[in-house]
Amino acid sequence: MAQDAPAARAVGAVKTIQGNVISLKTDAGADVTIHVSEGARILRTAPGQTDLKTATPIQLSEVQTGDRILARGKGSEDGKTIAANTVVVMKQTDVAAKQQKEKEDWQRRGVGGPVKTVDAATGTITLATTGVTAQSVAVHAGKDTIVRQYSQESVKFDDAKLSSLSEVKTGDQLRARGTRSTDGTSLTAEEIVFGTFRNVAGTISSIDVANQTMTVMDLATKKPVVVKITPESQMHKLPQMVAQALAFRLRGGELPGVPGGNGQPAGQRPQGAPAPGAGQAGGLRQGGPGGPGGGGGMRNADLSQMLARMPQLALSELQKGDALMIVTTQGNGTDVSAVTLLAGVEPILTAPNASTILSPWNIGTGGAGDAQ
């Protein structure tokens, strides 16, 4: 490598490591070979740290497959090789622990739903929270609020870019975490992430398991949509009794065990509905938004957790003619990627506001803090 080789850096996950050579898959999807120079600084840092003051020196032998690293040094002209004099390591176990902690915090202190109104001048966004019980929540953003926007093609939080409230528009899906008011009608946001997603409800026209795609006839537009299943896609199937109970609630009744609603006395539930509580549950950056918050009846967070615990589904288990409800990326109009997919939804599709039971935030990941 030439003496005047340009300075270079690469951030990503370790694919393999042999001796002093690391094969790295960068966050941009490129493969880069890292040659760790003799005497190079190798430092371990915690997720979320923004400087190296608390980083700990480690040996190259401690770096493992799956760890995230930032490598700095001299790069080759083709950008495929770096002779690294500094390697900053974020251990996979540390990333997983922070990811879980972040997810729990988004669930505990977060709220999400479609954007009703935006007032960028005052920093106020009004959301109609998703779930079987909808309510409006005012999200207040200040000068220190971190705002990110999802890519139109990606369902990964790490692909979200820094943005501003001026980019938020009515109909976008938005998730915020921060401090909620006592009555739950407002939230002072520390962090916001938003994006343009689609709700597709329809039946399967064809399935291509080999390419992990399927064609769905959208009931709203009467047009076919090609849906790509990615490793990040969350796919679940609702048991028939759960689907019937949700459809009953969307038609104005109450979920089993919740007093009142459409003349149903406490403890009485629709025929075939599950028993009360069935299926319910109370640079180098990783972590992110979890299920939506909410209130009243079955809270939106409860619904999100319930959906997440429904049986997992593989594309090979679906059949032509099956009815689906899907939250997808915006895509190019006819080709999209699935964020959340629900099968077994036949009873729900005829209910009013059926699309409100799904949001992109049911099981999200993401985070903040790039190691410098």
Q: Which pLDDT tens digit goes with each residue over 288-334?
A: 444 333 333 344 445 666 766 777 899 999 999 999 988 888 777 67
* Res. 9 pLDDT band, cuts 50 70 90: very high
CB atoms inside a 10 Å sphere around CB 54: 10
The reported pLDDT for the residue numbered 272 is 36
Q: For 225-283, what is each residue's pLDDT tens digit?
A: 999 998 878 898 988 888 888 888 777 765 444 433 333 333 333 333 333 223 322 24
Task: Tell me the helix, strand and coil percentages in the chain, rounded to 5.
Answer: 15, 40, 45
Highest CATH level, class, for 7-90: mainly beta
Distance separating alpha carbons of residues 12 and 88, to the nearest angstrom: 11
Q: For 30-76, what is each residue's pLDDT tens digit?
A: 999 999 999 999 999 988 777 788 899 999 999 999 999 999 999 99
The reported pLDDT for the residue numbered 282 is 26
The reported pLDDT for the residue numbered 125 is 96
The reported pLDDT for the residue numbered 134 is 56
- Nearest 5 degrees, angle CA 184-CA 186-CA 187? 105
Distance separating alpha carbons of residues 20 and 11, to the nearest angstrom: 17
CATH number of 197-357: 2.40.50.320
**Considering only CA atoms, which of 54, 32, 28, 30 is closest in space to residue 43?**
54
Higher pLDDT, 155 or 233: 233
Query: Tokens 């202190």 appear where?
Result: 109
Mean pLDDT of 5-29: 91
The reported pLDDT for the residue numbered 199 is 84
* Res. 107 pLDDT band, cuts 50 70 90: confident
The reported pLDDT for the residue numbered 173 is 85
**Considering only CA atoms, which of 219, 208, 232 is closest in space to residue 316?**
208
Sign of the alpha-carbon torsion through 156, 159, 162, 165: negative
What separation in angstroms does the CA of 300 have from each of 32, 39, 131, 135, 311? 43, 53, 5, 10, 19
What separation in angstroms does the CA of 132 have from each of 12, 41, 323, 352? 39, 53, 20, 11
Ranges in the chain annotated CATH 2.40.50.320: 97-195, 197-357
Do 238 and 310 touch, CB atoms closer than 8 A? yes
The reported pLDDT for the residue numbered 142 is 93
Domain 97-195 has CATH 2.40.50.320: yes
pTM of the complete model: 0.60
